[in-house]
Amino acid sequence: MAAAQDQGQKPAQPQPSPSAAPSPSPETASPGDSTQLEPIKTPRPYYPQEAADKRLQGEVWISLLISETGDVEGTEIISGDPVLAKAAQDAMRKWKFKPYIRNGKPVKVRTKVPYDFAFRDKVDDRPTDPNGALESTPPGGAAGGSPASDTSGAVSHLRVSQGVMEGLLVHRVNPVYPPEARSRYIEGDVILQATIGKDGRIHNLRAVSGHPVLVEASIGAVQQWRYRPYLLKGEPVEVETTIKVQFHM
């Protein structure tokens, strides 16, 4: 559960947080071929003043076309707040990678890159235990997960309680209390439904209930959360969970 309180304090200087280095779409690699993109130069986006003034946080995704020389040849905004996404796109145009080798020759590659924008005083990182992934005991086991199966009977994902997933959270961004909500004395809870992938990233986040002004602030923060993997029989699985965000003045 996350909470935002109106404390009337001036925020710390917002700080963009880059996510993991991107990789192109997987293909069978020959000996000596590249297996992932290796960044050489990655200047960080500035935090747009307009976004800072509005207290906007959020995750953006940018598509990159990388040339044979490792330069960014083309960019396209996939998702995210337009103001934040434009800042990320402008910075990524200046990124540089080692040439990507396939069949012994440099080739063009396309990849998708996420980038997180959050105020430093809203970021809460927790120590990561490499052996700390949670093992499930479905159905209805002590871990609190209930399996959902596809037509073949294989477990495709688990529905896991909010309390259980709280224990796996390693990177939290707390929401900012929206100035508009504060001026209109709007408070209350926002309920979000989240799909958390095998990589611990939130791949699908949608609002179930809450005031629209508060929902926007909640999604901008929660979409940046990261978790340790949830394991089923020793293998990471996709899970569904509910997240409550509280706003109190």
Position 8 confidence tier, pLDDT thresholds 50, 70, 90? very low
What are the structural domain ranges in the chain? 10-121, 126-248
Percent of the chain with pLDDT over 70: 76
For 139-183, write each residue's pLDDT tens digit: 333 344 555 545 445 555 689 888 889 899 999 999 999 989 999
Position 34 confidence tier, pLDDT thresholds 50, 70, 90? confident
pLDDT at 106: 93
pLDDT at 9 over 70: no
Q: Is 32:97 a contact under the CB 8 Å cutoff?
A: no
pLDDT at 126: 81
* Mean pLDDT confidence for 177-199: 93
* Mean pLDDT confidence for 187-201: 94
- Does the 10-121 domain belong in CATH 3.30.2420.10? yes
Percent of the chain with pLDDT over 90: 59
Position 4 confidence tier, pLDDT thresholds 50, 70, 90? low
pLDDT at 33: 86
Fold match flag (10-121 vs 126-248): yes
* CATH architecture of the domain with residue range 126-248: 2-Layer Sandwich (3.30)
For 70-94, write each residue's pLDDT tens digit: 999 999 999 999 999 999 999 999 9
DSSP codes joined into one string, the chain: -EEEE---PPPPPEEEEE-SPP-PPP-PPPTT--SS--EEE-PPPP--HHHHHTT--EEEEEEEEE-TTSBEEEEEEEES-HHHHHHHHHHHTT-EEPPEEETTEEE-EEEEEEEEEEEGGGEEE----TT-PEEE-SSS-TT-EEEEE-TTS-EEEEEE-HHHHHTTEEEEEPPP--HHHHHTT--EEEEEEEEE-TTSBEEEEEEEES-HHHHHHHHHHHTT-EEPPEEETTEEEEEEEEEEEEEE-
pLDDT at 54 over 50: yes
For 96-132, write each residue's pLDDT tens digit: 999 999 988 999 999 999 999 999 999 998 876 545 5
* Mean pLDDT confidence for 33-50: 91
pLDDT at 87: 95
pLDDT at 35: 86
pLDDT at 137: 40
